[in-house]
Structure 1
Amino acid sequence: MQNLNLPLIQKVGGFTVENLSNVSCFRFAIPTAVRFSKRKFAISSSIWDGKSSRNINVSVRSQYLTPEEQQYQQQKFPSHSSNFHSQPEKMPPRVYVGYTIYKGKAALTVEPRPPEFTPLDSGAFKLSKEGFVMLQFAPASGVRQYDWSRKQVFSLSVTEIGNVLSLGARDSFEFFHDPYKGKSDEGKVRKVLKVEPLPDGHGHFFNLSVQNKLINSDESIYIPITKAEFAVLVSSFNFIVPYLLGWHTFASSTKPEDPTRTNRSGAELEWNR
């Protein structure tokens, strides 16, 4: 059925009437003639009040748009929902955040890096690489000045972040990285991150040593992290770990009516026993 949009506000019997001053509950309109045009039609009606009749004219305009008009409106007023579905690769702008600790001999910046996903033939996405946290150590070049051109970086994996989260006041750990492991330059760059408790037990030393045989350099940068600063790191790591694993994308894409929820493996069905 075609929806009709009547240009006037007052309506009688489903039609808009130009003048209803003489129409009451005892009067009714009877259409007597209809004249169609391309986009509208006119109706000649008679109002009967039980004694006499009176002719009135009713103009009705259709809401239907021709294909040419629909195409023009879609070009002039594009739909946000259609753009979203036709361009799923369009993502919000990336935002960079971090937490920086400044000390007399060095500064440390901690920044998260997002996970990576691979599209599947089914249209879904699969996690291809976990996110990580980047540690950037910069030596001091003066009073409250730091030489970021000489910075050394160390990436913490999700598991290594777990070591930081489980670190006690008197605990320590050591991580070793070779950026060229499995490549032709394997063993030529050696990075060692040591975390040790401060003598008073109210914080930890973060010490990064980088031995680079490719450029014949050997540098060590350390920075003391207080108990309060370490608490901020722990809180930040606890928050960001699910995002580094990509679990937030799974949670946002799962709906109660999602048909994939019914396709479960045998291991998952054990909870229905």
Structure 2
Amino acid sequence: MVSLNITAPGRGGRLSIPNPQKLSSCNSTVPISILVTRSKNEIFLTGPHGKYSKNVPFIVKSQYLTPQEQLQQQQRFSSLESPSPFQNGQLPPRVYVGYTIYKGKAALAVDPRPPEFSPLDSGAFKLSKEGFILLQFAPTAGVRQYDWSRKQLFSLSVTEIGNIISLGTRDSCEFFHDPHKGRSEEGKVRKLLKVEPLPDGSGHFFNLSVQNKLINVDENIYIPITKAEFAVLVSSFNFILPYLLGWHTFANSTRPEDASRLNNANSTVDYEWNR
């Protein structure tokens, strides 16, 4: 790479600046070409807005940059053209979100949990576990105080989330969980979540019953959810559902040039529209 410095007159000629777009992104007055005259100390500059002349004393000196200087210059231009908020391989910070409803006898915290992926030999990733919505029920410990040390947990799967989203004003649903199903402790922990309409139609009850024989706990926590609060839950569930399925990672990783290759790899599939 050569750096040109113009400081005094020479024999004359034409000099072209390579890749003027990159330079002009930093300085809009950088010329695309320079015409050096044989007489007088005059040069003609051709830029994006036409030709103009300038009387300056000059000479042309060539200076070869070392590889290290070339790399530093490239990095400087790259940082000016496409700055990245996360450089040096740093990952974006972890973000925690949620929605909490406080009532007279209990509080309900709603938190999304991301899906999990497992690597394949090809270097790609495959969804190994769907995300879920974690419900945390905490009983009161006084006026506007809640005992989160006694909280009870219930995880909503994507299908259970779909059931809650589809509830009408007078509809209800219930879900039963046994965290130890298929293991030796099966039946020792029973969780039952009921979502039922309020008598006046102004919202829903969320009622969680937990029987845990392993630690001798029998808890029943219920909390009324108003129509507005339920609308917030439904809207949040609708938004987060594709992310819990991992579909956002597929959308972000798909490029136009990959579509044909992936479809050709599954050419044996009989598409509906090809019949």
**Alignment size in residue pairs:** 233
**Higher gyration radius (CA):** 1
Deviation of 1:255 after TM superposition, in Å, equals: 1.4
Deviation of 1:98 after TM superposition, in Å, equals: 0.7
- Which stretches in structure 2 are left out of the alignment for 5+ residues? 16-33, 44-57
* SS of corresponding position for 1:6: strand
Say if 1:179 and 1:189, in contact at 8 Å, map to a contact too.
yes
1:44 aligns with none
Say if 1:203 and 1:230, in contact at 8 Å, map to a contact too.
yes
2: CA distance, partners of 1:59 / 1:69:
18
> Measured at CA, do residues 230 and 8 of structure 1 come closer, stay the same or move farther in structure 2, by a change above 3 Å?
same
1:152-194 alpha-carbon deviations (Å, 9 max, x no partner)? 0000000000110111111111111111112221111111101
Q: Which residue among 4, 7, 24 is the counterpart of 1:6?
A: 4
Q: TM-score, normalised by structure 2?
A: 0.74
Q: TM-score, normalised by structure 1?
A: 0.74
* SS of corresponding position for 2:250: helix
* SS of corresponding position for 2:121: coil
Say if 1:17 and 1:58, in contact at 8 Å, map to a contact too.
no
What are the residue-to-residue correspondences of 1:113-192 with 2, within 5 Å? 113-192=113-192
Superposition CA RMSD, Å: 3.3
2: CA distance, partners of 1:272 / 1:61:
64
Deviation of 1:58 after TM superposition, in Å, equals: 4.4
2: CA distance, partners of 1:168 / 1:122:
46
1:22 aligns with 40
- Which stretches in structure 1 are left out of the alignment for 5+ residues? 26-55
2:249 aligns with 249
1: CA distance, partners of 2:132 / 2:243:
10
Between the aligned residues of both structures, percent identity stands at: 69
* SS of corresponding position for 2:94: coil
1:36 aligns with none
1: CA distance, partners of 2:97 / 2:107:
16
2: CA distance, partners of 1:253 / 1:85:
20
2:63 aligns with 61
1:219 aligns with 219
